[in-house]
Amino acid sequence: MNLIELKNLTLGYDNHIVLKSINMSIDDGDFICVVGPNGSGKSTLIKGILGLIKPISGKVIYNNLKQNFIGYMPQETLVDKNFPASVYEIVLSGTLNTLTKSFYTKKEKDLVLSNMKLLGIEKLKDKNFCDLSGGERQKVLLARSLCATSKLLILDEPSNNLDSKSKKDLYETVINLNKKNNITIIMITHDLDHDNLIGNKILSLREDEIFFGTTKEFVRRVHHE
């Protein structure tokens, strides 16, 4: 069964086309790594799926999934290095899409605690976000995205600026979410290093050709080139 279908999707900004006529379907349980050089349209595609930009033509069809119930984890773009926020405050904000009233109820608070436990960050609950290590911060942001969804996570270069140990740790967590909790994952990665190709499928965006298929097939092709 598929969660999302892209039909002839063309995306861009002010008549400048970045991605042309993309057709693909994202199946339930997939783990898709999106690779490609800078400017190839990785982020644009994500924005299109999230509905942050309108398609120039074509459409995105969501099956059993509402657009604002996708757990998006943007690249860390904190403007203020001393931003006053506790881990709990941040993760809690991930539940805002289910919130019908102005205030959080026990349901949201329970969800936050269980997701923090799942990612092993429950001890950081009252810590200041800015005092955490890079790896810990990414887990906090991952927990926030997880609160927004039970089906699909979209991660934008989550391992950027992480040392190899934290990166490995983060990837293990993400793989577990995919396998044990059956959460579909789309992850943008910046380099084609094999360690980064942890999903079952690859979407490779390059100016001359777009590849979408299994990771095995992609690796085979790269070796042939």
Question: Given the complex with another protein, which of 183 and 197 has the nearer CB atom?
Answer: 183
Q: Does 62 bind another protein (CB under 8 A)?
A: no
Which SS3 state, helix, strand or coil, does residue 106 take? helix
Within 10 Å of residue 80's Cβ, how many Cβ atoms?
8
Q: Which of 15, 77, 100, 164 binds another protein (CB under 8 A)?
A: 77
Q: Does 84 bind another protein (CB under 8 A)?
A: yes
Tokens representing 185 are 């994952």
| Of 22-30, 57-65, 128-136, 206-214: span binding another protein (CB under 8 A) | 128-136
Rounded Cα distance, 74 and 158, in Å: 8
Site for another protein in 38-57 (CB under 8 A): 50, 52
Shortest Cβ distance from residue 102 to another protein (Å)? 4
Q: Which of 8, 23, 63, 68 binds another protein (CB under 8 A)?
A: 68
Q: Which of 86, 160, 200, 215 binds another protein (CB under 8 A)?
A: 86
Q: Are 4 and 49 in contact (CB under 8 A)?
A: yes
Amino acid in the structure at residue 153:
L
Q: Are 78 and 128 in contact (CB under 8 A)?
A: no
Question: Given the complex with another protein, which of 49 and 202 has the nearer CB atom?
Answer: 49
Rounded Cα distance, 71 and 155, in Å: 8
Q: Does 79 bind another protein (CB under 8 A)?
A: yes
Site for another protein in 95-124 (CB under 8 A): 96-97, 99, 102-104
- Residue spans of beta strands (DSSP E) within the chain: 2-13, 16-27, 31-35, 57-62, 71-73, 152-156, 184-188, 201-205, 210-214
Q: Which of 63, 78, 123, 194 binds another protein (CB under 8 A)?
A: 78
Dihedrals φ, ψ of 124, to 5°? -85, -5
Residue ranges in contact with another protein by CB under 8 A: 50, 52, 67-70, 72-74, 77-80, 82-86, 89-90, 92-94, 96-97, 99, 102-104, 128, 130-131, 144-145, 148
